[in-house]
């Protein structure tokens, strides 16, 4: 019976999604809007009855939509781009979240809500949806524009801040006061997760996928990719982090394998299906009767979301050095909230921190912002130009001077070699410390679950000692690396404190003191961190002395080997980032399909004044005339396989062809622009 109910619900949702997509396409409207409205129609709150029996099942399938969409976004938005817009994203996200929290709180108080309810409203409206924006910008062919890269990075930073907010709100709602401990723990877990997943992923995943791709077996490749995506996403969920964050990270790591085109081609059908389910699930949350009852508060909060985020994010983007046009586009795109808004709103209801009507206002405003946002982004260029014209000329000139000054300041403030060395050493110390913390967190999990260690033939104290020793030995390469980096930092600080030109006796002694003190503080810090992280499974003092002595002996005997192992891993990551960034799916797709067919495939772009524009592939008798075979047509983000009479060629289409070089050249001649 349950299987039948699942099949029934999925059939209803996909049928409604298909109808909605067709209607939206026919009227040239965003498919996002069609999916949400279709969810309202079939939902449990729309008369005469609900077409969906089990909303929880649909919500589970919707989570798959978030996973596939964020994974695909990670494939496009590689780590180099994230690093390039990181400063802008951080400034914009922090400013936006802070101001939206305050604005939401004040709006709630103006409505007459309690302080806690107003705080939850601020949290609901502070985080723009990465998932909705990814779908929308793809659909509108804007995903590769600069403002889109800033938007993606900003929403990811906002997601991280939303995770911290959830921890804060849970503590406040449960205890009635703000507790810093749980928030600090949550942020530490988040930092460790980011560092470990990125570094381990960059070391292993590209190499694994490259080896799998050599078999030229699509089934094998897609199963391995899905295993990685689901595995990292599950790890994020188990750590009470964001499913979207885990999927995005593994997507960005997968992009470093250089197989973007082939993987996108294989994952695209799953992404399309489950993204539609995700958007339909948003529609299922809407209660039309309550929407009408609380229409004015819903419209008011939605207007606040759109307007305030436009202003906040435009200002944040501009302050970080972007021009007015780009900044306005960023602000326009950020004017909506979705999945984290629903999560936070549901959290407030479950903790009895908010009333049901507050929940409906929050959800209704979030859904309304998602409905309006596609039209805002579609006309973003026009709206940005209008907003720019409304700025008085003298103020606009002053702002342009500021933008130029920021860019000039960045160029002039290029780091000295010494500053670069110090920053690189500090970054490596942080990364090593994150790995040490991850290992001890894993050991702490094992210590808390007695079943993991119960089969060992020791007593309780001996089991804890064995676990502590094993963890320290596994972390030994990172301890050794931190020791060496701290030693090097001490020498650098000594040189900065007392210039090398000063060779007096007191100067040499002072340099030695600075170096030794830096090393001592670093070692003491690592020892304290180890004690705190392993406090849950520390053995007795006598056993600990023996274990520390054992670690010291092992370290002395294997020092050179540990240094070589760490240096090799560090070199692998450095080499990976030194390579040219993998290109997006357009340039790599000919090679992708060539690999799939085990044949040479090339692409020819249709020029803007080509005589074949408006004609179909069969209509121009391409195969008969040239001997080449058309594999597909790339048009924006769409891939049209095996085009027939219904598909006519358009300017800038990329036609993928299979044939001999002479046949491909004949197609180029056929497509060549004609004068007049």
368-404 pLDDT, tens digit per residue, is: 888 888 888 888 888 888 888 888 878 877 877 777 7
Residue 585 has pLDDT above 50, yes or no: no
Per mean pLDDT, which range of 104-108, 253-257, 304-308, 444-448 is the poorest? 444-448
- Assigned token pair, 183: 């928030």
How high does pLDDT run on average in the chain? 78
| CB 331, CB 323: distance < 8 Å | no
Measured at the CA of 596, the angle between CA 593 and CA 599, to 5 degrees, comes to 75
Nearest to 630 by CA among 643, 620, 647, 621: 643
Secondary structure of residue 598 in the 3-state scheme: coil
β-pair type (638-641, 654-658): unpaired
pLDDT at position 182 is 67
Higher-confidence position of 402 and 13 = 13
Say if residue 217's pLDDT is above 90. Answer: no
pLDDT on residue 380? 83
Poorest-confidence range of 376-380, 481-485, 494-498, 601-605?
494-498
Domain range list for the chain: 2-390, 417-557, 599-671
CA–CA dist 517, 96 (Å, integer): 42
Segment 552-572 mean pLDDT: 81
Instruction: Give me the helix-helix angle, 55-76 and 218-238, nearest 10°.
Output: 110
Q: What's the token pair of residue 68?
A: 């596939």
Residues, the chain, total?
A: 676
Does the pLDDT value for residue 584 go beyond 50? Answer: no
Contacts of 230 (CB under 8 A, 6+ apart): 67
Q: Give the percent of the chain with pLDDT over 90.
A: 6
Task: Tell me how far apart the alpha carbons of residues 603 and 633 are, in angstroms, rounded to a whole number.
Answer: 9
Q: How far apart are CA 465 and CA 487, in angstroms?
A: 29
Query: pLDDT at position 359, please?
Result: 80
Segment among 275-284, 368-377, 443-452 with least mean pLDDT: 443-452
Query: Could you tell me the pTM of the whole model?
Result: 0.67
Superfamily of domain 599-671: Regulator of K+ conductance, C-terminal domain (3.30.70.1450)
In Å, what is the CA distance from 83 to each residue of 42, 186, 299, 509, 612? 43, 23, 37, 41, 42
- The contacts of residue 215 (CB under 8 Å, 6+ apart) are 221
| pLDDT tens digits along 300-355 | 999 999 999 999 999 888 888 888 888 888 898 898 887 778 778 877 877 788 88
Neighbours of 89 (CB within 10 A): 25
Q: Which helix (H) or strand (E) holds 641?
A: strand 638-641
Listed as own residue / partner, the contacts of 293-300 with beta carbons closer than 8 Å and 24 or more positions apart are 294/357, 294/360, 294/361, 294/364, 297/111, 297/361, 297/365, 298/360, 298/361, 298/364, 298/365, 298/368, 299/365, 299/368, 300/107, 300/365
Strand 638-641 versus strand 601-605 pairing type: unpaired
For domain 2-390, give the CATH number.
1.20.1530.20
Instruction: Give me the percent of the chain exceeding a pLDDT of 70.
Output: 85
Residue 51 DSSP class = S
Q: How would residue 468 be classed by pLDDT, with cut points 50, 70 and 90?
A: confident
Residue pair 620/666 in contact by the 8 Å Cβ criterion: no
pLDDT digits (tens, 9 = 90+) for 46-66: 777 677 777 677 777 777 877
Give 648's DSSP letter.
Answer: B
From CA 562, how far away is CA 124, in angstroms rounded? 48
By the 8 A CB rule, do 129 and 326 touch? no
Residue 597 is predicted with a pLDDT of 43
How does DSSP assign 197-246, residue by residue? HHHHHHHHHHHHHHHHHTT--HHHHHHHHHHHHHHHHHHHHHTT--HHHH
Half-sphere exposure of 322 (CA within 13 A, CB side): 28
- Say if residue 540's pLDDT is above 60: yes
Predicted pLDDT at 167: 65
Dump pLDDT digits (tens) for 69-93.
778 777 766 566 566 666 778 888 8
Contact 144, 584 (CB under 8 A): yes
């Amino acid at each position: 019976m349950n299987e039948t109910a699942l099949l029934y619900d999925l059939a209803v949702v996909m049928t409604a999604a298909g109808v909605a997509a067709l209607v939206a396409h026919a009227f040239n409207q965003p498919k996002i809007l069609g999916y949400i409205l279709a969810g309202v129609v079939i939902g449990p709150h729309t008369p005469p009855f609900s077409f969906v029996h089990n909303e929880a099942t649909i919500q589970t399938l919707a989570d798959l939509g978030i996973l596939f969409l964020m994974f695909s976004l990670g494939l496009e938005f590689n780590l180099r781009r994230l690093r390039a817009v990181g400063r802008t994203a951080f400034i914009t996200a922090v400013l936006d979240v802070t101001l939206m929290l305050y604005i939401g709180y004040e709006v709630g108080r103006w409505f007459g809500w309690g302080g806690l309810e107003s705080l939850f409203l601020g949290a609901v409206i502070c985080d723009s949806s990465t998932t909705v924006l990814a779908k929308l910008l793809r659909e509108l062919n804007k995903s590769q524009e600069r403002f889109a890269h800033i938007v993606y990075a900003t929403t990811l930073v906002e997601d991280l801040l939303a995770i911290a907010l959830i921890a804060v709100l849970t503590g406040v709602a449960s205890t009635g006061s703000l507790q810093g401990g749980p928030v600090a723990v949550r942020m530490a877990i988040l930092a460790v997760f980011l560092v470990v997943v990125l570094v381990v992923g960059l070391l292993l995943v590209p190499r694994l996928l490259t080896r799998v791709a050599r078999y030229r077996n699509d089934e094998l490749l897609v199963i391995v990719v899905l295993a990685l995506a689901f595995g990292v996403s599950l790890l994020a969920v188990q750590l009470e982090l964001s499913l979207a964050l885990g999927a995005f990270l593994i997507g960005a790591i997968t992009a470093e394998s250089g197989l973007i085109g082939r993987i996108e081609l294989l994952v695209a059908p799953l992404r399309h299906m489950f993204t539609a389910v995700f958007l339909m699930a948003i529609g299922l949350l809407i209660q039309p009767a309550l929407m009408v009852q609380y229409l004015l508060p819903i419209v008011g909060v939605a207007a606040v979301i759109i307007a305030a985020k436009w202003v906040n994010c435009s200002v944040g983007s501009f302050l970080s050095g972007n021009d007015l046009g780009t900044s306005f586009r960023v602000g326009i795109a950020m004017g909506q909230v979705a999945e984290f808004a629903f999560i936070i709103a549901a959290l407030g209801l479950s903790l009895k921190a908010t009333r049901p009507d507050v929940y409906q206002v929050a959800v209704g405003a979030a859904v309304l912002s998602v409905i309006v946002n596609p039209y805002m982004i579609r006309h973003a260029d026009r709206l940005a130009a209008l907003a720019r014209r409304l700025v008085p000329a003298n103020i606009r000139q002053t702002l342009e001077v500021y933008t130029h000054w920021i860019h000039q300041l960045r160029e002039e403030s290029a780091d000295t070699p010494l500053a670069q060395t110090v920053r690189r050493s500090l970054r490596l110390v942080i990364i090593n410390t994150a790995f040490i913390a991850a290992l001890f967190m894993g050991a702490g999990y094992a210590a808390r679950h007695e079943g993991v260690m119960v089969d060992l033939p020791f007593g309780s104290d001996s089991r804890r000692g064995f676990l502590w020793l094993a963890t320290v030995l596994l972390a030994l390469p990172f301890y050794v690396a931190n020791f060496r980096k701290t030693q090097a930092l001490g020498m650098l600080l000594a040189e900065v404190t007392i210039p090398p030109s000063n060779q007096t006796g007191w100067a040499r002694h002072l340099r030695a003191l600075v170096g030794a003190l830096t090393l001592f503080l670093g070692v003491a810090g690592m020892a304290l961190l180890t004690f705190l992280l392993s406090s849950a499974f520390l053995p007795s003092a006598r056993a600990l002395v023996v274990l520390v002595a054992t670690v010291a002996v092992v370290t002395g005997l294997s020092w050179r080997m540990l240094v070589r192992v760490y240096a090799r891993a560090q070199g692998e990551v450095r080499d990976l980032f030194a390579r040219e960034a993998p290109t997006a799916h357009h340039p790599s797709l000919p090679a992708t399909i060539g690999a799939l067919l085990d044949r040479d495939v090339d692409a020819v772009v249709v020029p803007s004044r080509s005589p074949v524009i408006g004609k179909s592939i069969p209509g121009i008798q391409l195969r008969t005339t040239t001997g080449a075979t058309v594999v597909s047509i790339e048009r924006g983000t769409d891939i049209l396989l095996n085009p027939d009479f219904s598909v006519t060629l358009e300017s800038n289409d990329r036609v993928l062809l299979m044939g001999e070089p002479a046949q491909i050249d004949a197609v180029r001649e056929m497509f060549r622009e004609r004068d007049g």
